């Protein structure tokens, strides 16, 4: 398998996609609905757990930004 920059954008799920669109894309790559849920969830968790995320730090953890 070779990764090429020209293949990245056509294979990315976008925020404008419906759930059905995302399922179709994942299915075309041999991935399941469970894979979609797990990968989406870990991506969201990573964003929210980022040390630089002011929403997480101030809201979810109760810390005040300096």
9-54 pLDDT, tens digit per residue, is: 877 887 888 999 999 999 998 999 999 988 887 776 666 666 665 5
Indicate the DSSP class of residue 27: H
CA dist 41 to 3, 7, 36, 63, Å?
A: 24, 24, 8, 24
Model confidence, pTM: 0.56
pLDDT above 80: residue 57 = no
Look at 32 and 5; give whichever has higher pLDDT: 32
Look at 66 and 33; give whichever has higher pLDDT: 33
């Amino acid at each position: 398998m070779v990764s090429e920059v020209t293949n990245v954008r056509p294979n990315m799920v976008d925020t404008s996609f419906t759930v059905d669109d995302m399922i179709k894309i994942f299915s075309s790559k041999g991935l399941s609905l469970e894979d979609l849920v797990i990968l989406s969830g870990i991506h969201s968790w990573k964003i929210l757990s980022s040390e630089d995320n002011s929403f997480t730090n101030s809201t979810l953890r109760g810390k005040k930004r300096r």
